[in-house]
Amino acid sequence: MQATLDHADTRHPQGLAHAQDGTRSAAFLQHIDAACKQACDAIAPVWPLDRAIAVNPHWTRVGLPVRTVAARMGALANIQVFPSRDYLLSAWNTGRITTDDLQRAIARTPEAKALGITPDQWAATMQTPPPLPQLPLLIDVLDNDPMRHTRLSWRQAITHQVSQTCAAFFDDYQGEWRPEGQTDLYTFWRNTLQHDHGIGLLMGIPDLGKHLHSLPATRAEAECWVLERLGLPQAVWADYLESMLLTVNGWASWCAYLAWQAKLEGSEDHHLRELLAIRLAWGAVVLEACDDASAQDAFGQLQQAWQHAPVVLQEAENALLLDEVGQLALEIAYQRDLAQRLAYASNIAPARGEIEVQAAFCIDVRSEPLRRALEAAWPGVQTIGFAGFFGLPVAYTPLASQIKRPQLPGLLAPAMEVTDEISAHPSATDDDTTALREEAIRARRNHAGMAASWHAASRWPGATFSYVEAAGFSYLGKLGEWLRPSSRPRQRDDLDGLPSRYRQVCRPMLAGVDLATRTDIAARVIQGMGLTNFLAPLVVLVGHGSQSANNAHAAALDCGACCGQTGEVNARVLTRLLNELPVRALLHERGLIIPPTTTFVAALHNTTTDEIEGFDINDLPIHASARWEKLQAAFVQAGDQVRRERAPKLGLNPRAPHKELLMQLRRRANDGAETRPEFGLAGNAAFIIAPRHRSQGCVLQGRTFLHDYDATLDPSGALLEQLMTAPMLVTHWINWQYHASLCDPLHLGSGNKVLHNVVGGHIGVFEGNGGDLRVGLSRQSLHNGKDWVHEPLRLTVVIDAPAESIEAVLHKHANVAHLVTHQWLHLMRFTENGLVQFVQGEWQPAF
C-alpha cells in the first residue's frame, strides 16, 4: 500500500501534505478529521418506514440563509431548493401571484430592491432556467471516455454499487445470508467489491478487478489517501466531501439517522463516516484504473474548478436571487388570503352556550376541518389543539412482544415505557387476571410463531418452486380483497394476532411510573392544554391515524411527527392516568382541580375516512356514557361534512349519499392497488399558536396546524418557549419535507410509488431495483395525476403573544432564531391592528 501512495505523490507533488518520511502530521490528520466531520454533520437524518416522520432534508443547514443553501445544493449536487421556474411562471400567468405580491417580495429582498428589479423583468427571467455552475467530483472528470454516453456513468454505477452494498449490510430482516466475519461498513464494502466481477463491465472498465489491490485497508487510510492525492485547498475539503456524500444522499441520511438515535441514547455511531470513506475509496480505485495522461488531465480540471469554488458558490447564489423573489411572492399571496380569513374570525364573536364536551385534537392540519365541522354540528363542543403525543415521552411494547416502539416526536428520546395489561372484570381475583393474561400472551406468541415459521419457509433456496406451488392458493384471499376491496373499518394493528376474546380487556398502561411522576405528567398536560380554569363533564382526547393497504409509507400517514405511530396508545394511557383518583387527589393539593363530574375518554380520528373511534367505552361511568352517546351524532355529521369537502380532491362525488361516500372512502383505504388513499398533510402552509377564537369559524382548507395557547395563562413565557422549540420545529420539518419533495422530486422525493421496492423490511425504498435509497414523499402524495395538490410554501407561523415573549425565545434558542432570520419560515403575531411580521429584526405590518 505504501508503495502505491508514494507513487501517487510523485506524480502529483501538489498532493503532498505529510512529512518526507511518509508520516502525516497531527495537524494534517486533524484537518482531515474536521473536514469529514463537517461533511457528515451536513446530512439530515431519515427515519425508517415503520417509524417514519417528516424531516427537513436541509435541517443541518438552517444556520445559513435559504438562498445560500440553495446555491450550495445546486453547485454541489444539482439539487433544487426553490420551486422550478416553470412552476413560478405558471403561478404568475394564472394570477396566483399578482403584481402586488411581486412588488412586496422585491421590496423585502434587499438585493432585488437595490437592483431595481420590476415584475416584468422577473417574469422575463423566469422564462429560462437559472445558470447554475456545477462543481465536479473526481469521478466526473475521470469519466471522459468518448463512449461514456453508451453506458452507465461512473457516478451512477458507483452509486448503484454502494447502495446495493448498504442494502445488504443494514438488512437485518429480509436477508437470510451474509458474509462471515462482518465488521464495519467500510470493511464489508471492501470485501464485497473484491468479489463483484460485474461492476467493471457496467462501468466499461473490464480489468477493474486488477486494481482492487489499491483499495485502502481502513476508513482512515481512505480519507487520507484521496485528500492527499486530490491536492485541493483545505478550505474546500468539507464542501467536496459533502458533495460526495450527496451522491448517495439516501444512504447517507439513513446513516445520519443511526447517528441521531445513538446520540439520543448517549452513544456514537460511525456508519456515516464509513460511508464517506467508501465513496472516497471508489475514486482511488478508478484512479488506479486510468492511465497517467487521463488522470493528469482530470486532476487539472478538478483542481481548477475547486480553486474557484467560493466564486462559483457566489455566482450560484446571485443566479437564484429572482427565484427567491418568486418563492416569497408565492408565500405573500397565501399570507394575504390567510390574514383576511383570520381578520374575519377576529370580528365575529362565537356564539356559545354551555360547554358539555371538550375535544382535544392533534395539531395536524387534517384535524382543522374536523374541528370546525364538529363545533358547527354541536355548539356545546369546545375543541382544543394540542401535540398529538399528548406530552407522553413513551415507548410502547405491545403484549407478548420485545419491540419498544417510540410514540413521540423524533426530536425526543422516550423516558418511560408503556406495556399492554389485561384488565379483567372488576369482580375477578388477582389469580383470575394473571391466568387471563398468561392465556392471552400464549395465544399471541403461538400465532406469531406460526407466522414466523411460515415466513421463513418461503425464503430457503429449496422453496423457490415448491413453496409457490404449495402456498400460492393462500394468497388468493388477499388478492381478492385487493381486486374487490371491502368496506370494513380500520383494523387495529397493535392487536394483530390476539384472539378477539382478549382484545376488549387489553389496555396500554404506564409501566413502573410512581404516583408523583404520573401526577407531574397530568399537571403538565392540563396546563399545556389551557384547562386550568374549566373542565367540561366529558373531555375527549382524540389521537389520529390513517388507513391504507399494501402501502410501504403507511406509517408516514399516521403521524408526521410521532415516529409514524397513531395517537391511540398515548390517548388511552393519558385518559387512564387523568381518571385515576389518586392522581386527582395530588393535583388538588397542587391547586389543579379536576371535578369529580369530569371524565376523560380516548378516541382516534381516522384521517382517511374521517371517522372517530372511541376506546375503552365500557369503562365509562353512566353519566359520561350518556354524553358520549349524544356526541356520536355530532361526530357522524362532522365526519360527513369533512368527507364532502375532501371528495373533489380524491375524484369522488361530494353529493353522493352519506353512507355511500363513507363506503367509497373505506374501499379506497382497503384497496391494495390504491396509491392515494389520502393526501396526508399536503397543502400545509401555516401554524397558528393562539386561542381558538382567533381562528374559529375560519375555513382554513386543511392547510393549518392549530395549537391552542393563551398568553394570559403563561406570564413567564415558559409554555410559549416549549411551543416554539418543539411543535414549531416539528411543523417546520413537515412543511419542508413536502416543499423539498415537490421542488426536487428526483433527489429529495421517493419517486413513483408503483415502482417502489422495500429495502431491509423497513429501512426505506428503492425506485425499481437499484439506485440510491429514496427519501422524501412519493409523487402520488403530492400530485393527483393532473395537478399538484401541494403548494411549495415555507411555513407561516402566527402567534398570539407579546412581542417581547416571542423575541425572548429567539434570543435564547439559536436554532429557532435561524429559522426566522434565515427565512426558513415566516413569523407573525396578532395585534389589535392586524398581523405584523418579524422582518430583519423588527416587527412590520404584514399588509
Q: Is pLDDT at 493 greater than 50 in this prediction?
A: yes
Q: Is pLDDT at 204 greater than 60 in this prediction?
A: yes
pLDDT for res 758: 96
pLDDT for res 689: 98
For β-strands 686-689 and 506-511, DSSP reports them as unpaired
Q: What is the pTM of this model?
A: 0.93
3-class state of residue 190 by DSSP: helix
Nearest of 438, 315, 328, 437 to residue 97 by alpha carbon = 328
Amino acid letter for position 634: A
Cell numbers 399571496 correspond to 333
Cell numbers 368527507 correspond to 643
pLDDT for res 816: 97
Q: State the sign of the Cα–Cα–Cα–Cα dihedral 233, 235, 241, 247.
A: negative
Q: Is the distance from CB of 418 to CB of 573 less than 8 angstroms?
A: yes
pLDDT for res 388: 83
pLDDT for res 457: 52
pLDDT for res 448: 64
3-class state of residue 687 by DSSP: strand
Q: Using alpha carbons only, how large is the chain's radius of gyration in Å?
A: 29
pLDDT for res 410: 86
pLDDT for res 21: 45
CB atoms inside a 10 Å sphere around CB 331: 23
Between 202 and 712, the more confident residue is: 712
pLDDT band at 699 (very low <50, low <70, confident <90, very high): very high
pLDDT band at 219 (very low <50, low <70, confident <90, very high): very high
C-alpha cell at 845: 405590518
Q: Is pLDDT at 16 greater than 80 in this prediction?
A: no
pLDDT for res 433: 72
pLDDT for res 174: 62
Dihedral class, residue 373 (left if φ above 0, else alpha if ψ from -120 to 50, else beta) = alpha
Q: Could you read off the pLDDT of 505-515 as tens digits, one per residue?
A: 889 999 999 99
Between 537 and 559, the more confident residue is: 537
Q: Is pLDDT at 15 greater than 50 in this prediction?
A: no
HSE-CB at 543 with a 13 A cutoff on CA atoms is: 31
For β-strands 506-511 and 538-545, DSSP reports them as unpaired
Backbone angles phi, psi at 701, to 5 degrees: 65, 25
Q: Could you read off the pLDDT of 413-441 as tens digits, one per residue?
A: 899 999 998 876 666 676 767 777 788 78
Structure letter (DSSP) for residue 349:
P
pLDDT for res 352: 62
Q: Could you read off the pLDDT of 470-482 as tens digits, one per residue?
A: 556 656 666 777 7
Q: Is pLDDT at 13 greater than 70 in this prediction?
A: no
Amino acid letter for position 824: W
Cell numbers 361526530 correspond to 635
Q: Is the distance from CB of 503 to CB of 326 less than 8 angstroms?
A: no
Q: Is pLDDT at 114 greater than 80 in this prediction?
A: yes
User: Range with the lowest mean pLDDT among 122-126, 225-229, 751-755, 837-841?
Assistant: 225-229
pLDDT for res 440: 79
The C-alpha atoms of residue 160 and residue 157 are separated, in whole angstroms, by: 5
Between 7 and 450, the more confident residue is: 450
Chain centroid offset of residue 126 CA: 31
pLDDT band at 284 (very low <50, low <70, confident <90, very high): confident
For the chain, the average pLDDT equals: 89
Q: Is pLDDT at 20 greater than 90 in this prediction?
A: no
Q: Is pLDDT at 467 greater than 60 in this prediction?
A: no
Q: State the sign of the Cα–Cα–Cα–Cα dihedral 390, 394, 399, 405.
A: positive
User: Range with the lowest mean pLDDT among 21-35, 62-76, 93-107?
Assistant: 21-35
Q: Is the distance from CB of 36 to CB of 226 less than 8 angstroms?
A: no
Structure letter (DSSP) for residue 179:
-
pLDDT for res 481: 72
Nearest of 628, 634, 573, 631 to residue 599 by alpha carbon = 628
Residues 6+ apart with CB under 8 A from 695: 342, 345, 688, 704, 706
Cell numbers 410502547 correspond to 396
pLDDT for res 455: 52
Q: Is the distance from CB of 419 to CB of 401 less than 8 angstroms?
A: no
Nearest of 644, 676, 640 to residue 784 by alpha carbon = 676
Q: Could you read off the pLDDT of 524-533 as tens digits, one per residue?
A: 999 999 999 9
Structure letter (DSSP) for residue 778:
B
The C-alpha atoms of residue 495 and residue 677 are separated, in whole angstroms, by: 23
Percent of the chain with pLDDT over 70: 90
Q: Could you read off the pLDDT of 676-692 as tens digits, one per residue?
A: 999 999 999 999 999 99
Nearest of 697, 731, 683, 698 to residue 827 by alpha carbon = 731
